[in-house]
A and B are shown apart, each in its own frame.
Chain A
Amino acid sequence: AQKITQTQPGMFVQEKEAVTLDCTYDTSDQSYGLFWYKQPSSGEMIFLIYQGSYDEQNATEGRYSLNFQKARKSANLVISASQLGDSAMYFCAMREGNGGFKTIFGAGTRLFVKA
């Protein structure tokens, strides 16, 4: 069965520093997609970054990068130069491959950015 594991319930980071949020996944599919979403206290889910299982380069979107290690089945999110507005819940998610549409989410990591 497919599964997403986020082992860090909460993380603290100093403003302007970088932080890594961990994510491991389990799937028997060869084709799949990995996502990170941000959920501020207001509740809306915001897409941050996407990595396809066949992409050889790590994905980057502005201050966000995804450290994709396929053999280890990990897809860690790196946020550089943290800002106070980055304080939120962060969810790692995986879309099943082979024509599937289901996306499953991890339990999330709450990030606190300190001034």
Chain B
Amino acid sequence: DAGVTQSPTHLIKTRGQQVTLRCSPISGHKSVSWYQQVLGQGPQFIFQYYEKEERGRGNFPDRFSARQFPNYSSELNVNALLLGDSALYLCASSSPFANEKLFFGSGTQLSVL
């Protein structure tokens, strides 16, 4: 079975641009979470979606938005990019039948110049 897949792997953008990151969860998982990980720090929670509804939001500005599609895949959008948005963006899927253990994708490395 395929694990969590994220695309693209790497992305370079300039300040002020917009970016869309994509994530496909493990088959059967209805929950998707997004995390931002700045180099040398722990992952910071951005969003959690379950059954296409937002169930949790971290302390991020409104420039960050996300959605989940009927097939449970998800997109994270970031508008008006800032230098400080440069980070590894991790997507994770989970199941209530596995204690909500997170299964992570390999991440998207976003660099904002």
Contacts and interface: CB of A to CB of B under 8 A. Distances in A.
A28 B50 CA distance: 24
Contacts, number: 63
A43 B106 contact: yes
A102 B48 contact: yes
Contact of B45 (A50, A102, A106): A102
B43 A91 contact: yes
Contact of B104 (A4, A45, A106): A45
Given A52-B99, A95-B100, A103-B100, A43 B41 contact: no
A50 B107 CA distance: 23
Contacts of A64: none
Contact of B88 (A4, A43, A101, A106): A43
Given A100-B56, A101-B55, A101-B94, A106 B103 contact: no
B15 interface: no
A50 B55 contact: no
Contact of B102 (A4, A47, A100, A108): A47
A56 interface: no
Interface in A41-86: 43-47, 50, 52
A103 B99 contact: no
29 contacts: A4-B42, A35-B101, A37-B102, A37-B104, A44-B104, A44-B105, A44-B107, A45-B90, A45-B92, A45-B102, A46-B104, A50-B101, A91-B42, A93-B102, A95-B99, A101-B31, A101-B33, A101-B48, A101-B56, A102-B45, A102-B48, A102-B55, A102-B58, A103-B45, A105-B42, A105-B43, A105-B44, A106-B42, A107-B42
Given A102-B56, A108-B42, 17 more contacts: A6-B42, A37-B104, A44-B104, A47-B102, A47-B103, A50-B101, A91-B42, A100-B56, A101-B33, A101-B56, A102-B33, A102-B48, A104-B45, A105-B43, A105-B44, A107-B42, A108-B41
